[in-house]
Structure 1
Amino acid sequence: MKIAFFSTQPYDRLFFERENTAGKFNYQFYETHLGPHIVRAVERVDAVCVFVNDKVNREVIAVLAEKGVRLIALRCAGFNNVDLAAAKEYGISVCRVPAYSPEAVAEHTVAMLLTLNRKTHKAYNRVREQNFSLNGLLGFNLHGRTVGVVGTGKIGKAFCRIMRGFGCRLLAFDLYQDDELVQEGLHYVPLDELYREADILSLHCPLTEDNKHMLNKQSLGRMKDGVIVLNTSRGGLIDTVAVIEALKSRKLGGLAIDVYEQEEKIFFRDLSNTVIEDDTLQRLMSFPNVLITAHQAFFTDEALGQIARTTLANVEKNLQQQVREGDPAFLL
């Protein structure tokens, strides 16, 4: 089974090669993201394996079908970057990794919240310079604060349970309620009520056409002054321009993001000797109460191992099923 990997980093090679000890798979690795600029280089593979910033639109899918590709395997949970209707039309199966390590993302979200609140990143730099002053490092207790969670799937559920350990009051919005969380003390409320009540708002939902820019000028205006916003899901959930205005007006007390709407040409690259031309991101990074990591929340040994195992199992199962039935099967 031949697989072409796109957006490949050294750790992708390491973990996928580690899981191929039986030699069932033949790999081709591309550092570039998959898109119209590179898709015609795909030759004689059964599947393409893509990540969050690959652009698998109708144009790309048409070429993949022409090249005989039978499967698009996402090594991530989100699939908003794949035109599913086009894939079905061209007879290409699609699979993903819906639950590789929800704890990894949830724990990173909490780490960002603690860092932003208690300013440990600034304290670390101060002490390194022999500055032991506490001025400007004041935070607040998480205990007793109201945490609003949008999306209580596996990651949101793990985040809720961690925050419950801090003694927080938990509110959530989701189209489908989790009975276990309700029994544990979580209260589901309408989205407007969650906006009004939350001291801390954390996004753990997939990006869809319906919720793109769900945090915009109007929704931000309905929130408490000084609310902390966390996003480790998808950058498109936030209208960055509106968030910048909310930071300037002090409506937002802080922002911690591991994703960015225009991250495709920036994240997963070393740009330390490059002029970044994204003025919006540069403005965002200029705020002292903004914390940004580069799509790192998933990045644990356990998560990468599970991603590799699940992706390869999906590829093997799907391709074998196609051979048996002569028909592609969607495994989303």
Structure 2
Amino acid sequence: MRIAFFEIKDWEKKYLRKKLKDHTLDFFAEPLDSGNVQKVKDAGILSVFIYSKVNAPVIQKMPRLKLVATRSTGFDHIDVKECERKKVIVSTVPFYGENTVAEHTFALILSLSRNIHKAYVKSLRYDFSIEGLKGFDLKGRTLGVV
């Protein structure tokens, strides 16, 4: 089967070629859209990421398409209704980076409380004064999680 990968990095290609050697693989660094869909119109499987636009015009130009696999938890870049209409299966990554996202949230909180970005911007201007960099402690603060 022909599988088209979009928004793919060089380091991923070697692994995919090894694991999928019985298939024809096409790799593209750019996202999929109506401008480049002709390159893969015969593919049966699409593997995309968040910047690819798998909308009705793209899906309609791919008569052999059976599966769209997005390498993300979100799927708002895929026209799911059009896929259902064309009997194309859509798969997502059900769990991805929960710890990473939570840790990044705390990194951003610390960056805000300690003015890390402001200090960085000042250093780019060779301004090494501490003026405007006074932060605040997190102790005693309440964090709301939505």
| TM-score calculated relative to the size of structure 2 | 0.82
The answer to whether the aligner puts 1:40 opposite 2:38 as a matched pair is: yes
- Rounded Cα–Cα distance in structure 2 between residues aligned with 1:119 and 1:55: 37
- Rounded Cα–Cα distance in structure 1 between residues aligned with 2:22 and 2:134: 55
Provide Cα deviations, 1:159-211, integer angstroms capped at 9, x if missing partner.
xxxxxxxxxxxxxxxxxxxxxxxxxxxxxxxxxxxxxxxxxxxxxxxxxxxxx
AA aligned opposite 2:72: C
The answer to whether the aligner puts 1:144 opposite 2:128 as a matched pair is: no
SS in structure 2 at match of 1:27: strand
- Rounded Cα–Cα distance in structure 2 between residues aligned with 1:26 and 1:13: 17
Provide Cα deviations, 1:79-103, integer angstroms capped at 9, x if missing partner.
1121111101101111011212211
The answer to whether the aligner puts 1:117 opposite 2:125 as a matched pair is: no
- Rounded Cα–Cα distance in structure 1 between residues aligned with 2:41 and 2:130: 59
CA gap 1:104/1:6 in 2 versus in 1, 3 angstroms: same
Query: Contact 2:6/2:28 (CA < 8 Å) preserved in 1?
Result: yes
- Rounded Cα–Cα distance in structure 2 between residues aligned with 1:25 and 1:100: 26
SS in structure 2 at match of 1:147: coil
1:90 equivalent among 86, 91, 115:
86
AA aligned opposite 2:18: T
Following superposition, the deviation at residue 40 of structure 1 comes to 2.1
Following superposition, the deviation at residue 20 of structure 1 comes to 4.4
Query: Contact 2:2/2:24 (CA < 8 Å) preserved in 1?
Result: yes
SS in structure 1 at match of 2:145: strand
The two structures, once aligned, show a CA RMSD in angstroms of: 2.3
For structure 2, the 5+ residue unaligned runs are: none
The answer to whether the aligner puts 1:4 opposite 2:1 as a matched pair is: no
The answer to whether the aligner puts 1:29 opposite 2:27 as a matched pair is: yes
Q: How many corresponding residue pairs?
A: 144
SS in structure 1 at match of 2:18: coil
- Rounded Cα–Cα distance in structure 1 between residues aligned with 2:69 and 2:49: 9
Query: Contact 2:69/2:90 (CA < 8 Å) preserved in 1?
Result: yes
2:15 equivalent among 14, 18, 22:
18
Following superposition, the deviation at residue 78 of structure 1 comes to 0.2
Identical amino acids, percent of aligned pairs: 35
AA aligned opposite 1:77: T
- Rounded Cα–Cα distance in structure 1 between residues aligned with 2:13 and 2:99: 21
Following superposition, the deviation at residue 14 of structure 1 comes to 0.8
For structure 1, the 5+ residue unaligned runs are: 151-332
Query: Contact 2:17/2:25 (CA < 8 Å) preserved in 1?
Result: no
CA gap 1:43/1:81 in 2 versus in 1, 3 angstroms: closer
1:77 equivalent among 62, 73, 76:
73
Provide Cα deviations, 1:204-261, integer angstroms capped at 9, x if missing partner.
xxxxxxxxxxxxxxxxxxxxxxxxxxxxxxxxxxxxxxxxxxxxxxxxxxxxxxxxxx
SS in structure 2 at match of 1:60: helix
Following superposition, the deviation at residue 45 of structure 1 comes to 2.2
- Rounded Cα–Cα distance in structure 2 between residues aligned with 1:24 and 1:149: 46
Decide which structure has greater helix share.
Answer: 1
SS in structure 1 at match of 2:74: coil
CA gap 1:26/1:13 in 2 versus in 1, 3 angstroms: farther
- Rounded Cα–Cα distance in structure 2 between residues aligned with 1:16 and 1:105: 26
Following superposition, the deviation at residue 135 of structure 1 comes to 1.5
SS in structure 2 at match of 1:49: strand
- Rounded Cα–Cα distance in structure 1 between residues aligned with 2:132 and 2:14: 47
- Rounded Cα–Cα distance in structure 1 between residues aligned with 2:32 and 2:116: 38
- Rounded Cα–Cα distance in structure 1 between residues aligned with 2:101 and 2:24: 30
